[in-house]
Every structure is written in structure tokens, then in C-alpha cells.
Chains A and B, each alone.
Chain A
Amino acid sequence: MEESYPPRKYLEEERIYSVSEVNRLADNQLKGIEIWVEGEVCDLRLGYENFGFFSLRDELAVLPCVIFGEALRSLPLQLQEGISLLARGVLGIYVKKGQYRLNVLEAEESGEGRLRKEFLRLFRKLSEEGLFSDEIKRPLPEIPFSIGVISSVEGAAVRDVITNIRKRFPPASIYLRSVRVQGEGAVEEIVDAIDFLNRISPHFQIEVLIIARGGGSLEDLHAFNTEEVARAIRSSRIPVVTGIGHEPDYTIADFAADFRASTPTGAAQKVVPYIADIIHGLNVIKSRMESAWKKKLDDLGKGLEYLSRHRCFRVPEAFLLAPSQTLAEAHSSIRESWIRALSEMERSVQYHDLKIKGYARENRELPMAIGLRQAKLVQTIRWFLKERDEEMVELTHMITGNLRERIRNFEGSWRFTGGKLVSLNPLKALSRGYAIVYPEGSKKPLKDATKVSKGDQVDVTLYQGGMKCEVKDVIQESRKSHADLPDDFFREP
């Protein structure tokens, strides 16, 4: 091949060439090389019907091309990104810009673009394998405080990601692993960066990874359309969000990721929430908590007030009266029934006594024995009655004792709760030396110094007594330390 090239011209060693001369020289060297070349069309820009710029490429290289006027109009096909083209042309250099290119004279389509075919083949293979399925997607953290970013430190994408994270959620830390995002070594560096950030994540508590790159041709995005990168994304323990290219660009990496944002900015927006939203959520929680607590105290206050009106607190004796009456009645009726039973027994004993005395006239030895048994019987009955009587007394003590105990407990908890209510009373703060300031004639306490002006009258309420004062000066100093937080973000309960 080399011998067919035009012979190398001898350059004058002593001479200093101008830029245009050098370019022209190089152009002369290339001129006359007419070739057929096959490649995929990319980076296409058409200028009406007069000219077209594009590149032809294969897996390893890109060849800039230009096509003019008649050649463009007589093409048997519509020039499109991604189509495979077989072109004939002459090599040359655009002297003005020093750009090497092929001036295409004629061309025909040579089948589907190889890269696109490769993309589709890989997509089908990996999706059949289940690598893109929703079930294996990892959930993203809702509020990450540590984020790993894989991108080129020189690119615009990394800047978009970092500034957007900063803007939305300043507390998050960002750890960048800079990689080449196209060309030789890009695939290896991206795969290595995913592994690297996973391995150091215990140290940095990285919760989510962003892989970002700006837009580009299919060739530029090639690294993100490789099996290696797709598998590395899936084998990451940390969830991965991609923000590669522009809206319509889909890469194999996008399908493998746990979430695909259409741009680097979109990835940042997906990964971190707006800090203002979180703060708003906290404020909502705070006011819900406070109003629930206030309601609880109000309810308790009402309950206590209602209770304090109860008869048992106003006339505790009355509360005890009814049960003790019942008790006394029960006691006496039990006692009476025992006495009745006893007297019946006595009567029956007397009756038998008479009968026995009758027998006794006929037999003299019997009365002694009967008298003895009679006395024993009476004794047994007395003893029985005494026992019951003691039990009754004991029972009465127990019941009244229980009642007293309950009243005491009730009183105790009432005092405790009441004491708490008192301590939560804002006026109590006055006793610790605080004061409340009202604008003159107003019932609403003053919270903001800017609401009064020099010379205004204000009323000051102290723990004991109050004062009428005149404002000598207004100091507009804010006590807030974080001016970016909403005013109502936090107050002491």
C-alpha cells in the first residue's frame, strides 16, 4: 500500500512555516487518496441541500466526513444517525481549521449500524437474563447524607450533579470518583469505580451512587452500552442511579440501574429531597404534636374541673354515708336473725326441759345428766354467736378501710395531675423572672420588636404587679442563627 502513496516532499529544515502552509502541506499529502469506506453514520449535521457533515465510525475509530452539493442531492438514501454507510471519497484537510476529513463523492447504505445492532443484541441478552427486571431493583434511600458520584471531574455532568445536590440538600456529603467516560479505558475505570465506592462505603457510609455523563453520540456513550458496566451496576451493593446523556438517550447502563434519570441534573434531583420539604414535614409534625398535647391537657383540665364538682369531693361524708348505712343495716339484720334463731333454740330447750322434768318425777337419776347437756348446748350457741359477731366487726373494718384507701389514692393522683397542669401554665414562667409585654391597650403579647416604634407605650406584666413603659429604642436583631430556615421552624414548647 505504502508505495502507492505520493512521494514524501522534502521540507526545508531551516524555514519556519506559517500555520496555513502546514495545513496546506498536509492537505497536499493526502489529496488524491480516493477510497471506499464502510462505517456507521454519527454526529450528523445537514445544511439544507448544499452540504452535510457527519462521521463514519467503527468500534475503534471515527472518520469525519463532508458531502457537498451534487453528491448530497444524488445520494440514493436519506442520511440518518446510526445507519451503516458505504462511501467513496477523497481524503483531505480543511485548511482553515486543520481538520482531517473524507470528502464523500458517492455513498450507499450498507445495512443496520453495527453499534445499534450490538446494542439490541446486548439488550435482548441481558433482559432475557432478567438483569433489567423490576424485582431486582434496589430501593433508593429517601434522605441520603452520603452520596458517591462516578463521572469525569472535567465534565459538565459532574458539576450539574454536585451543584444540584448542594442546592437541594446541603447536609449531604458527596464523594467523587473521577473516571474517563468515553474512549479507551472508560469501561474499566467505570467498573473499577463502582467496585471502589462499594468497598470504601463502610468508611464513608455511602448510601447511593450516581453515574453521570453528558450527552453524546452513540459512539461517545459506548462505555455505558457494555455488558461489563451493566453487570458492575447490578453487582453493586449500593443502589445506583444513572444520569447519562439527554432525555431520549437510553443506554444499557440505564436499564441496569436501580433508577434512570434522563440527565445528570435529573439524577441529583431524584437522589436528594428538597431540604425545605423536610423542614416543612418537621414543622407539621411539631404542630401536630403540640396541638395533640394541648388537647390532652385541655381534656384533663375539663375532666378535673368536672370531678372537683362531684359530691364526693364537696361532701366526702355523703359519699361514705350510703355504703355505711347499708353495712349497718346488714349487720343488724344478720344479728337479729341470729338472735331469733337463738331464742327459738332456747324455747325448744325449755320445752324439752319441761318434758324431761315430767319424766324426772318418775326417774330421779335422769335430771342431772339432762341438766348437764342443756348447759353445754347453751354454751355452744353462745360461743357460735360470739364468733359470728367478731367476723362481722372484722368485715366492717375491712370495707370501710378499703373505701378510705381509695379516696386517699384518688386525692393523691388529683393533686399530682393538678400540680402538673399548674407547672405547664405559661404564667408560671413569670415567677421565674420572665415578663410579658403588651402593646398599649392590647391583649396580645408582643413577640417582635419591629411591631413597636420609638416612643410607643407598652404594658409590662411581671409576676407581681406591672409597669407602664415607653419604648426608647427598637433593636432589630434576629435571634435566629439560620436565616434560611422558615421563621416558625422551632419554638420551645
Chain B
Amino acid sequence: MAGEGMTFRQMLDRLEEITQTLEREDLELEEGLELFEEGIKLLKESRKKLADARGKVEMLLGSIDEGVVREELAFGEKNEDLI
């Protein structure tokens, strides 16, 4: 799938590259069609990455030697109204 293993930044850079190539006059139709399809897939992927993921908020306790404990933090969500 397009965009797999790419960072978000890399996806944006590739999209810009595709767009600039598409904007070129001398592009062959076949190549253009491939790029256009890749671009649309990348747009979908990047949107998915933005819209689907809701980041975690965790406090990391403990130590590397004795084990790290992850504890979910609520504020920013539940306590948002209080601020």
C-alpha cells in the first residue's frame, strides 16, 4: 500500500513531488495515471493517519532496569472542562 513504512513528513514530501511532476507539461499519460493513483492513495493514507489516531497520554513510571510502568493520564480529556 502507498505510504507504508513512510513517516508523515515523507508522505507529504512524496505528495508534493507527485503534484509537481503532474504539473509538468511533458508527462506521458501512462506515467501520469500511475502517479495520480499513487497520489490519491497517499492522500487517503495521510488523512487516515491524522483522523483515525488519537494519541495516548501516559505517565511513564519505574526505571529501565526494574521495568517501566505505563499509566494512562486522564487530564486533557476528562478534566478539560475544569481548565
Contact = CB atoms under 8 A, between A and B. Distances in A.
B59 interface: yes
B29 A172 contact: no
A285 interface: yes
Contact of B19 (A178, A288, A300, A490): A288
Interface in B64-83: 64, 68, 73, 75-77, 79-80, 83
Across chains A and B, which 9 residue pairs bring their CB atoms closest together, nearest first?
A173-B55, A292-B22, A171-B53, A162-B76, A173-B56, A292-B23, A166-B76, A172-B55, A176-B59
Contact of A163 (B8, B18, B46, B75): B75
Please classify the interface of chain B as helix (H, G, I), strand (E, B), loop, or mixed, using the class held by over half of its residues: helix
A159 B59 CA distance: 13
A145 B32 CA distance: 32
A176 B51 contact: no
B36 A159 contact: no
A175 B47 contact: no
Contact of B22 (A143, A289, A489): A289
A282 B9 contact: no
7 contacts: A173-B58, A282-B46, A288-B19, A289-B19, A292-B22, A296-B32, A490-B43
A281 B55 CA distance: 21
B43 A285 contact: yes
Contacts of B46: 282
A175 B44 CA distance: 28
Highest count of chain B CB atoms <10 Å: which of A176, A178, A296: A296
Interface in A279-307: 279, 281-282, 285-286, 288-289, 292-293, 296, 300
A173 B59 CA distance: 11
A490 B44 contact: yes
B22 A293 contact: yes
Interface of B: 8-9, 12, 15-16, 18-19, 22-23, 27, 29, 32-33, 36, 39-40, 43-44, 46-47, 49-51, 53-61, 63-64, 68, 73, 75-77, 79-80, 83
A132 to B, nearest CB: 28
A289 B9 CA distance: 18
A199 interface: yes
Interface in A202-250: none
A490 B73 CA distance: 33
Contacts of B50: 171, 275, 278-279
Given A159-B75, A171-B54, A288-B19, A490 B29 contact: no
Interface of A: 141-143, 145-146, 153, 159, 162-163, 165-166, 170-178, 196-197, 199-200, 275, 278-279, 281-282, 285-286, 288-289, 292-293, 296, 300, 417, 420, 481-482, 485, 489-490, 492-493
Contacts of A159: 75-76, 79, 83
Contacts of A278: 50
A174 B47 contact: no
Nearest to A295: B23
A288 B53 contact: no
A174 B57 contact: yes
Contacts of B60: 175-177, 196-197, 200
Contacts of A300: 29
Given A176-B59, A278-B50, A282-B43, A289 B36 contact: yes
Given A171-B50, A173-B55, A493-B36, 15 more contacts: A163-B76, A166-B57, A166-B80, A170-B55, A172-B55, A173-B57, A176-B59, A200-B60, A285-B16, A285-B43, A289-B22, A296-B32, A485-B47, A490-B44, A490-B47
A82 to B, nearest CB: 32
A485 B43 CA distance: 14
Contacts of A285: 12, 15-16, 19, 39, 43
Given A174-B55, A176-B59, A292-B22, A281 B12 contact: yes
Contact of B47 (A143, A176, A177, A489): A489
Contacts of A176: 57-60, 73
A162 B61 CA distance: 17
Contacts of B76: 159, 162-163, 165-166, 174
Nearest to A484: B51
B59 A153 contact: yes
A145 B53 CA distance: 10
Contacts of B51: 481-482, 485
A341 to B, nearest CB: 52
A81 to B, nearest CB: 30
Contacts of B40: 289, 492-493
Contacts of B58: 173-176
Nearest to A489: B47
Contacts of B77: 166
B21 to A, nearest CB: 9
A146 B60 CA distance: 14
Highest count of chain A CB atoms <10 Å: which of B36, B44, B50: B50
A450 B18 CA distance: 36
